Structure 1
Amino acid sequence: MTTTTAPTLMQQGQGWFSKAENWLDARGKGAWIAAMVLGFIFFWPLGLALLAYMIWSKRMFNGSCKSRRHSPTFNSSGNSAFDAYKADTLKRLEEEQGAFEAFLQRLRDAKDKSEFDAFMEDRAKNAKSDDSAEA
């Protein structure tokens, strides 16, 4: 009976492709995009293959671009008083954020209205000066 000490590819659990994939995953979406661009530069079918793989494996749209406006979920710390405090604080901060965004929207609306009113006044002055110049 002979045993081999060199691990085979299946015993290692990862081939070169899996190692490269894990290396790129550890560095984020930017590394995948850089690899794809380099693939297009050096050998366009490789870049195309990377793009197809990124779309197929959903690495291109992995949720980093999705809105993060949902209520945050957190694991229990084991201390119910702290968890209640944390939940109340997060709720208060979300309410304050909503109020601040509403305030900013009111400011934008007021600025838009003042700019529009100034435009209309300018337009009326120009119309009056055109009428008096024609007469």
Structure 2
Amino acid sequence: MIPATARAGFASWPGRAEAWLDERGRPAWIAAMVAGFIAFWPVGLALLAYMIWSKRMFNRSCSPRRTASRSMAWNSSGNAAFDAYKADTLRRLEEEQIAFESFLQRLREAKDKQEFDAFMQDRARKAGTPAEDVEA
């Protein structure tokens, strides 16, 4: 019979391996997949399927730089004045980002309206009716 501590350690190794690979980024996942194909092809195929299913293949979720920069943004530096300045700057940048995104949305809506109006005028011209009648 296997002791409970050994079973717990054995059962948690996939999670530890996944965390270890995530720390090293996408190249580590690809290297593990290639090694799996070399050692025994179903292992490589299983890793490829897992990478696609968990979206590790096509996004930057396991990028070490991204997780490091995200954690640095919210950690305290130990200097209260700097932390207040950093929080204020981050809040201001988030507000500017929201304002810019709303500006882009209004710009897209204006472009869509302009294109739709041009389409309706062209359609009315082809049909032989005045454009004012179509818009009303």
Q: Under TM normalisation by the shorter chain, which class is it?
A: 0.5 to 0.7
Q: State how far apart, in whole Å, the 1-side matches of 2:34 and 2:108 are.
A: 40
Q: Could you tell me the TM-score, scaled by structure 2's length? A: 0.56
Which whole-Å CA distance do the structure 1 matches of 2:22 and 2:81 have between them? 38
Q: Quote the Cα distance in structure 1 between the aligned partners of 2:122 and 2:35.
A: 55
Change in Cα spacing, 1:103 to 1:53, as seen in structure 2 (3 Å) is closer
Q: Deviations over 1:67-103 (max 9, x none)?
A: x9x9x85121111111111101110110011001000
Higher helix share: 2
- Whichever of the two has the greater Rg, that structure is 1
The alignment of Structure 1 onto Structure 2 pairs a total of residues equal to 105
Q: d(CA) in 1 for partners of 2:109 and 2:101?
A: 12
- The 5-angstrom pairing of residues 1-135 of structure 1 reads 27-33=24-30, 35-36=32-33, 39=36, 44-51=41-48, 60=56, 64=61, 74-128=74-128
Larger RCO, structures 1/2 (Cα 8 Å, 6+ apart)? 2
Give distance in 2, aligned partners of 1:39 and 1:105: 46
Unaligned stretches of 5+ in structure 1? 1-17, 130-135
CA contact (8 A) 1:40 1:47 kept: yes
Distance 2:50 2:114 in 1: 51
8 Å contact from structure 1 (residues 76, 83) kept in 2: yes
The runs of at least 4 consecutive aligned structure 1 residues that moved more than 2 Å come to 24-27, 33-44, 48-55, 58-63
Is the Cα contact below 8 Å between 1:29 and 1:59 reproduced in 2?
no
Aligned to 2:13: none
Per the alignment, do residues 32 and 122 of structure 1 end up closer, same or farther by CA in structure 2, a change over 3 Å counting? same
The alignment's TM-score, normalised by the length of structure 1, stands at 0.56
Identical columns (%)? 70
Post-superposition CA distance 1:100-134 (Å, at most 9, x none) = 100010000000000000001010011118xxxxx
CA RMSD in angstroms, aligned pairs only: 4.3
Question: What letter matches 1:36 in structure 2?
Answer: M
Post-superposition offset of 1:48: 2.2
Q: Which runs of 5+ in 2 are unaligned?
A: 1-15, 130-136
